[in-house]
Structure 1
Amino acid sequence: MNKQWSPELHDFPAELLLLLDMVQSGRSSFAALNVADQSLDWQAFGSLALHHRLYPTIHAVCNAQSQQLPSNMLQWLNQKYQRNAFTMLQLSGQMQRVTQALTDRQIRALQLKGPVLAQSLYGDLSRRTSKDLDVLVPIEQADEAEQVLLSLGFVKTQEVPRTTDNWRWRYNHESYVDERTGVEIELHWRLNGDAGAEQGFEELWERRQQLEFGGTAIQMLGQEDLLIYLCVHGARHAWFRLRWLVDIDRLVQSQLDWQLLRRLTHQYKCNHIVGQAFVLTHWMLHTPISGEMAQWADAPRAQDLARRVLVFIREKVNLCPEPETQVLAKYYRSYQYALKTIGQKALFWVRKMAPDDWDMQTLPLPKMLYFMYYPLHPFLLLYRRTQRRDAVQREVEQQ
C-alpha cells in the first residue's frame, strides 16, 4: 500500500484498504494494488466486498484493471454484478407498481433508498445494492397504505409491538414481503424510530425531488433531507457497511444547499451525526472537506464519534439487529448512548423508569394485570441487566 491513509486506519487490513481505494468517487488511482504484492488475500477481499455491499461499485474499476486481478475474482465479480442488476430491476418494477397503487388511492409516498438512490447517486441501477424498498407515507395514512400493500399480495412479516400507547412514536416502520417475488417493503410513517424531533412529512414533501422510472413519477427526499436521513441511518448502525459512506461521498459532491442544511441540522439537533459522516468519508475515502463541510467535521464530538465506529468496520461486524458477541453488543450500546442529544438522554432515563415492551416479553401477564408492570418494572430491568452481564462474563471466560 502506498496511499497516505489517515493514521486512524493504521490497523486496517490491506484488503480493506484496497477496497476503500477502489470505491473513491473519481479519485481512485488504483494505487493501492501492487501486482507484486503476494500477501493480498483475494478471498478475504471478496468477503469484504460482499459484506460492505460494494461489489457492484468496484465492478467497473476491476474490469478496467482486469489484467491486475485474478481471473476467479473477476468471474465472481461479474456473477455478483449481474445478479444484483436483475435484483435492482425487479425492485424497480415493484416500486413502480406500489407507487401507482398508492397514487390511485391518493396516498402520497416518498421513496427513501433503493432504486431511486442508485439512480440519483450513481446514475445506474446496477451500481448499488438494495435488499428492499423503503416507503414513507403520512402517519395518518399508514393503515390505508398497509391495505394497499395487502391488496397487491404483500404479507406482513414484521409487526411492531402495540402494547403501549406510544408505539407509533417509538417505532417507525413495519415490514412486508411479496411471497411470489421475494421483494420486501418497509412501510415507514417516520424516518427514524424513537429519534426525537425530525422533519415532518409535509416538510419533506415540499422539498422532494422527482425521478422517472418507466413512465412512472417517483418521489424521493430532497438532497438535504436525504443527506440527513442517510447520516442518521448510517450512524445508528455504526456505519458497519461502507456502502453507506460511499453514498455520502457521492451526495456531498452534488449541488447541496449548505445554508438549508445548516438550518436543518441545527433545528433537528444532528450536527454531530452529519459531522461524523463527513469525518469518516474524509478518513476512508479521501472526500475533500470543503469550507462548507468544515463546520460539521471539525467538531471534536464528530471526530470522537467517528473513532468509536472504527472497530465495527475493521472487524467486519454485522449489527443487524445486534453484534455477534456480547462484548461488542455492550460497546455498541455505549456508542448508541453517545449519539443521543441531551434531551434524548433525558428521555432515555425517563423511559427506563416506565414499563415497556421488554417487560411484557420478560414476564407476560394478562391484560387485566398490566398495572402490575409499574411496580415490577425496576425488578424486571435489573433481571435483564443481570442476564446480559452474566452473558458477557461467560463470553470473556471462554476467550
Structure 2
Amino acid sequence: MTTNASPIANDRVLQLLIMLSRIELSDEQKEQALSLCRDVTDWAGVALRARQNLILPLVYRHLRQLQPAGLEARELEQMRIAVMTIQQRSMLVMSAQQAVLKDLIEPLGIPAMFFKGPSLAMRYYDEPAIRISRDIDVLVPHNAMVRLLETALQLGYVPYDPQPLQADPSSLAFLARTQKVITLISPLGVGIEFHQRIVRYASVYDTEDLLTRRDALQLDPLSYPVMPTDELFVYICLHHTKHFWSHLHWLVDLDAIQRHPDFCLESVRRCAERHDLVATVEASLELYRAMSQPCPWEYEPISAQGRELLTSSLAAMAGGSRSSTRCRRRWPHRISPLPGRPPLPICCAGSCSAGCASSAPATWITTTGHCLPTGSGCIAPFGPCANFSGVTHCFATPSHHDPRALP
C-alpha cells in the first residue's frame, strides 16, 4: 500500500489520535507520538476530533504524561475540564446500569446479560471512566421481554424507540415479536437498549445459548452478568468491522481486552470458529497490528481480508460515519465466506467495487468484488435471491440471509 493511496497519510492529527488509541504506549510509540505532536498547531482542534472519536479522556491522559513541548498548560487545562464533563456523564451511565441490575434484572430473575459500553469499561479498562459510554446494551431472552418492559414502565422508564409505547401486556407482547431492540430512557436520563439478539441474524449468535454461557463481573456487592471474554472479543470484531472501525474508541476496546488477564487468543480463535467468523477476527487482529505502527497505511497484512479491511477502515476513520456508510455500500462483501465453501452471493443494490451500478437483483458480487450475472454458474449452488427488498444489500444462502458476508 503506497503512501499516496492512504487518506490519512497527510493528516498528522489523525495519525496522532490513532497512535494514542491504546491503553499503554511503548517507548517507540511515545517517541512517535511526540514527533507527531510537534506538527500540531491547533490543540483545540485535536481535542475536538478526539471527542468526536470518543477518546478524549484517554488522549488527555496520554498527553498529560507525554507533556509535548507545544502543548501549553492552558490548553491542557481546557482538555481536563472537557474530560471532567464527559466522565461525569460516563459515571451517570454506570449508575443507570446498576439501577437496571438492581431494579429489573435481579428482582425479576431474568437471565439477562450486559455487553459493550459500561460493562466492557468496568471489566477491561484500568480506568473505566476513560471509556466514553453513551448508553447501555442488555441482552434479554424473548420470553422475559414483556415482564421486563411492564416493570420498567411502572418504575418510570420512558419509551424512546418505538415511541409511543402502549403499556398493556398484549401490546408489549406484539412489540416483543416484531421489534428485536427496544429502547427506553431510564429515570437518570440514560438510554437502555434491550436486545433480543446481539446481531440481527440468529444464525450467527443464538441468544439462549449465549445467555447460558454468561460470566459474572463481581463488583461488590453486585454481580453483573456479562459476555465471556472470548465471545465478547469475537462479537466486537464483527460489530466494529461492520462499521469499518470508524470510531477510534473501538480500537481502544480491542487493545484493552487483549491486555486483560482473562484474554486467551486460542480461546478467541476457537470461539470465532464456532461462529464461522475466523476471517473477521483475523482481519481485525491484522488491523490492530497495523494501527500500532507509525505509518499504518504501509503495513502489509497477510490476508486479502486484512488488506481490504485496513484500506476501508483508514478511509472510514478519515471521513467519519458518513465515510463508513459509503464503504459499506461500496464493499458489502467485506467478511469472507465460510472455509471450504463458495463465496456468498450478494444482491447488488448500488455501486459495487467493480463498478456495477445495477439496482436489480440480476447482478451478484462475490467476496472478491467481481460482479457476475445471475445464472453464470460461478455462484452455484446458490440461486437468485428471492427476498430482495431494495435495501443497500441483501444476502442469499440456500436457506437464509447470512450476515457473514456483511462488514
| TM-score, normalised with respect to structure 1 | 0.72
> Structure 1: how far apart are the matches of 2:107 and 2:94?
18
- The answer to whether the Cα contact below 8 Å between 2:37 and 2:68 also exists between their aligned partners in 1 is no
Aligned to 2:171: none
Pair 1:173 & 2:181 matched: yes
Q: Deviations over 1:84-119 (max 9, x none)?
A: 221222112211111122211111121102222112
Matched positions, count: 332
Q: Pick from 90, 99, 116 the counterpart of residue 92 of structure 2.
A: 90
> Structure 2: how far apart are the matches of 1:9 and 1:208?
40
Pair 1:339 & 2:335 matched: yes
Superposed counterparts of 1:6-85, under 5 Å: 11-26=9-24, 27=26, 28-34=29-35, 37=38, 40-66=41-67, 68=69, 69-85=71-87
Q: SS at the partner of 1:29? A: helix
- The answer to whether the Cα contact below 8 Å between 1:176 and 1:186 also exists between their aligned partners in 2 is yes
| TM-score, normalised with respect to structure 2 | 0.71
Distance 1:241 1:205, change over 3 A: same
Superposed counterparts of 1:117-196, under 5 Å: 117-159=120-162, 172-178=180-186, 180-193=187-200, 195-196=201-202
Aligned to 2:304: 300
Sequence identity (%)? 19
Distance 1:345 1:158, change over 3 A: farther
Distance 1:9 1:25, change over 3 A: farther
Q: SS at the partner of 2:331? A: helix
The alpha-carbon deviation at position 171 of structure 1 amounts to 6.3
Letter in 2 for 1:301: Q
The alpha-carbon deviation at position 230 of structure 1 amounts to 1.0
The alpha-carbon deviation at position 38 of structure 1 amounts to 5.2
Q: Deviations over 1:246-301 (max 9, x none)?
A: 111221233433343223212222122212221221111349xxxxxxxxx73322
Aligned to 2:263: 256
Pair 1:197 & 2:193 matched: no
- The answer to whether the Cα contact below 8 Å between 2:287 and 2:310 also exists between their aligned partners in 1 is yes
Distance 1:308 1:182, change over 3 A: same
Pair 1:234 & 2:269 matched: no
> Structure 2: how far apart are the matches of 1:145 and 1:336?
36
Distance 1:17 1:170, change over 3 A: farther
Distance 1:330 1:59, change over 3 A: closer
Q: Deviations over 1:129-149 (max 9, x none)?
A: 000011111122222222232
- Return 5+ residue gaps in structure 2 as ranges: 164-173, 295-300, 349-359, 362-386, 394-407
Aligned to 1:371: none
Pair 1:243 & 2:239 matched: no
> Structure 2: how far apart are the matches of 1:31 and 1:152?
51
Distance 1:278 1:204, change over 3 A: same
Q: Pick from 312, 316, 322 the counterpart of residue 316 of structure 2.
A: 312
Letter in 2 for 1:334: R
- More helix by percentage: 1
> Structure 2: how far apart are the matches of 1:51 and 1:137?
30
Letter in 2 for 1:174: I
Pair 1:265 & 2:272 matched: yes
Distance 1:106 1:344, change over 3 A: farther
The alpha-carbon deviation at position 348 of structure 1 amounts to 6.3
- Return 5+ residue gaps in structure 1 as ranges: 161-165, 288-296, 354-376, 386-399
Distance 1:153 1:167, change over 3 A: closer
